Structure 1
Amino acid sequence: MSLRFNYRAANEPAYQAMRAMEAHISQSGVDKVLYELIKIRVSQINGCSFCLDMHAKDLMKLGDHADRILLIGLWREVPIFTDKEKAVLELAEHVTNISQVGVPQPVYENVRAYFDEKEYIDLIVSINTINSWNRIAIATGMFPAASRNCGFGERGS
């Protein structure tokens, strides 16, 4: 894969709109570790190497999460994720693959056992934001280290 172009330079207003979504999430109270887990799982599903690499490194900066990064694709089968995290990861999978079965009522109810309506919407916005970043990165040819090599500065998103 090769970088097609610098999307920031091509359309700064669109980039700023995405940054506004990130700003909303950071002010919403969504747990930082939980948000990085969402970003990693969604990036795996979407096949976004750039975002997967970035957010795995970001999660490591928040503590020793190597096992969680390595096993997140098997979150249902390992005991290192809390029930709350599992509820959110299941929601993230369903929202990312929304055309398959939507968000089934049991998935919704499981998440709502841990989060109120406002928090639920913040989670949906979080999931949608990383899905959007993934689609921008994939469509413009982003790959790990692309941001350093093509005028993005330190981070591509």
Structure 2
Amino acid sequence: MTQRIDYIKQAPDLFKRFVDFGMHLKNGSIETAIVDLVDIRASQMNGCGFCLDMHIKQATLHGERPLRLHHVAIWRESTLFSPRERAALAWTEALTQLAPHGVPDAVYERVRTELSEQEIVDLSYVIMVINAWNRINVGFQSVPGSLDKAYGLDKAELS
């Protein structure tokens, strides 16, 4: 695979602003472990190899267990996720692939029982950001692992 356009080089200011926006979310109310799971699940759903590769390596560096990473795709059947994590993953799926009639009340109620209003808003922004990254990286065919050294992801030792 060859990257179609180097969007970072073509729009460095927009790239920096978007990175800054995403970094601002790191100070939000959603814990890193859930952000990692959300980034992985949305990237799986969107078929974004670049982001999936990146976020699995980040989660590994954050101390996530390998089996849980393998189970993200089957989170409904897995016993490895807490109710809070399950609610976040359900919300991720609902906002990543919007149903014709919007987000079902049952999904909203599930997330509402596990997260505060502030956390739901913060989680929604996390989901918006990963979906945007997925779209630009899928569109321009960013090569998985191509920025590992620049982002320090080579330290995950997963190559």
TM-score, scaled relative to structure 2: 0.89
In the alignment, residue 39 of structure 1 is paired with which amino acid? D
Q: CA RMSD in A?
A: 1.5
Find out whether 1:154 has 2:150 as its counterpart: yes
Deviation at 1:102? Answer: 2.0
Distance 1:113 1:97 in 2: 22
Deviation at 1:101? Answer: 4.2
Deviation at 1:34? Answer: 0.4
In the alignment, residue 50 of structure 2 is paired with which amino acid? F
Deviation at 1:89? Answer: 0.3
Contact 1:39 1:130 survives alignment (8 Å)? yes
Instruction: Report the equivalent of 1:134.
Output: 134
Distance 1:22 1:30 in 2: 13
Gaps of 5+ in 2: 152-159
Contact 1:48 1:138 survives alignment (8 Å)? yes
Within 5 Å, give how 1:1-157 maps onto structure 2. 1-147=1-147, 154-155=150-151
1:84-138 residue CA offsets vs partner (Å, 9 max, x unmatched): 1001101100100014442111111111112121111100000010000011111
In the alignment, residue 133 of structure 2 is paired with which amino acid? W
| SS in structure 2 at match of 1:129 | helix
Contact 2:84 2:115 survives alignment (8 Å)? no
Q: How many corresponding residue pairs?
A: 151
Distance 2:113 2:64 in 1: 27
Distance 1:22 1:110 in 2: 25
Distance 2:22 2:64 in 1: 24
Deviation at 1:20? Answer: 2.5
Say which is worse superposed, 131-140 or 58-67, in terms of deviation. Answer: 58-67
TM-score, scaled relative to structure 1: 0.90
Identity level (%): 33
Distance 2:84 2:132 in 1: 24
Distance 1:56 1:71 in 2: 12
Gaps of 5+ in 1: none
Deviation at 1:61? Answer: 1.0
Contact 1:51 1:134 survives alignment (8 Å)? yes
Say which is worse superposed, 109-118 or 128-137, in terms of deviation. Answer: 109-118
